[in-house]
Amino acid sequence: MNDLIWLIPAFPLAGFVLLVVFGRRLGEPVAGWLATAAVAGSFAASVATFLSLQGEHVHDRAYEVTLWEWLPVGGFHVDFGFLADPLSITMCLFVTGIATLIHLYSIGYMHGDPKFSKFFLYLNLFVFSMLMLVLGDNMLITFLGWEGVGACSYFLISFWHTDDANASAGKKAFVTNRIGDFGFMVAIFFTFAALGTINYTGIVAASPSLATTTATVIAAMLFLGACGKSAQLPLYVWLPDAMAGPTPVSALIHAATMVTGGIYLLARMNPVIVEASSWVPWMIAVVGALTALFAATIAVAQNDIKKVLAYSTVSQLGFMFLAIGSGAYVAALFHMITHAFFKGLLFLGSGSVIHGMEGEQDMRRMGGLFKKMPITAVTFMVGWLAIAGFPFFAGFFSKDEILLFAYDKSIVLWLIGMVAAGLTGFYMTRQVIMVFFGAPRWDRPLEEAAPELFAEREAAGIHPGHGAGPTGEIHPHESPWTMTLPLIVLGPLALLGGWLNSAFWEKGKALEHWLEPVIEFGEHHLSAGTTTLLKIELGIGATLVGLIGMTAAWFVYSRNKGEAKDRIELKVLLKGWYYDSSIAAFMGGPGRKGFDAIAWFDKHVIDGAVNGVGSVVKVTSDKGRTVQTGYVRNYALGLLVGALVVAALILSKAVTG
Q: Which residues bind other proteins (CB under 8 A)?
A: 624-633, 636-637, 640
**Minimum gap (Å) between residue 641 Cβ and other proteins:** 11
527, with CB counted inside 10 A (0-12, 13-18, 19+), is exposed
**Minimum gap (Å) between residue 627 Cβ and other proteins:** 6
Beta bridge partners, 362, equal 304
Task: Count the residues in the chain.
Answer: 657
**Minimum gap (Å) between residue 612 Cβ and other proteins:** 24
> Exposure string (b/e) for 84-119, b if CB count within 10 Å is 16 or more?
bbbbbbbbbbbbbbbbbbbbbbbbbbbbeeeebbbb
Nearer to other proteins, 76 or 635 (CB): 635
**Minimum gap (Å) between residue 636 Cβ and other proteins:** 5
Residue 575 half-sphere exposure toward CB, CA atoms < 13 A: 11
R_g over Cα of the chain: 30
Nearer to other proteins, 625 or 653 (CB): 625
Nearer to other proteins, 459 or 627 (CB): 627
Between CA 384 and CA 346 the distance in angstroms is 7
How many C-beta neighbours within 10 Å does residue 284 have? Answer: 26
Between CA 630 and CA 640 the distance in angstroms is 17
Report CA-CA distances (Å) from 636 to 24, 368, 623, 644, 646.
81, 106, 21, 12, 15
**Which of these, 76, 488, 513, lies nearest to 330 by C-alpha position?**
513
**Minimum gap (Å) between residue 647 Cβ and other proteins:** 11
**Minimum gap (Å) between residue 656 Cβ and other proteins:** 22
**Minimum gap (Å) between residue 621 Cβ and other proteins:** 9
Nearer to other proteins, 54 or 620 (CB): 620
Task: Work out the angle between the directed axes of helices 532-553 and 394-409 (0-180°, nearest 10).
Answer: 120
Nearer to other proteins, 528 or 627 (CB): 627
C-beta of residue 221 within 8 angstroms of C-beta of residue 183 = yes
Nearer to other proteins, 571 or 625 (CB): 625
Nearer to other proteins, 597 or 636 (CB): 636
Nearer to other proteins, 507 or 618 (CB): 618
**Minimum gap (Å) between residue 590 Cβ and other proteins:** 54
**Minimum gap (Å) between residue 631 Cβ and other proteins:** 5
**Minimum gap (Å) between residue 624 Cβ and other proteins:** 8
Q: Is 418 left (phi over 0), alpha (psi -120 to 50) or beta?
A: alpha
Please, which residues have CB within 8 angstroms of residue 306's CB and are 6 or more apart in sequence? 243, 247, 250, 347, 350, 354, 361
**Minimum gap (Å) between residue 71 Cβ and other proteins:** 50
C-beta of residue 547 within 8 angstroms of C-beta of residue 428 = no
C-beta of residue 573 within 8 angstroms of C-beta of residue 298 = yes
- Phi/psi at 78 (5° precision): -125, 125
Nearer to other proteins, 533 or 632 (CB): 632
Beta bridge partners, 138, equal 199
Report CA-CA distances (Å) from 570 to 301, 575, 604, 621.
7, 9, 48, 71
DSSP string spanning 145-172?
HHHHHHHHHHHHHTTTTTSHHHHHHHHH
**Minimum gap (Å) between residue 620 Cβ and other proteins:** 13
Q: Is 598 helix (H, G, I), strand (E, B) or coil?
A: helix
Q: Element (H or E) spanning 77, and its range?
A: strand 76-84
Nearer to other proteins, 529 or 630 (CB): 630
Nearer to other proteins, 570 or 644 (CB): 644
DSSP, res 209:
G
Q: What is the 3-state secondary structure (H, E, C) of 532-544?
A: HHHHHHHHHHHHH
**Minimum gap (Å) between residue 619 Cβ and other proteins:** 14
C-beta of residue 471 within 8 angstroms of C-beta of residue 401 = no
Nearer to other proteins, 633 or 653 (CB): 633
Nearer to other proteins, 584 or 645 (CB): 645
**Which of these, 260, 190, 192, 184, lies nearest to 223 by C-alpha position?**
184
Nearer to other proteins, 586 or 635 (CB): 635
**Minimum gap (Å) between residue 584 Cβ and other proteins:** 59
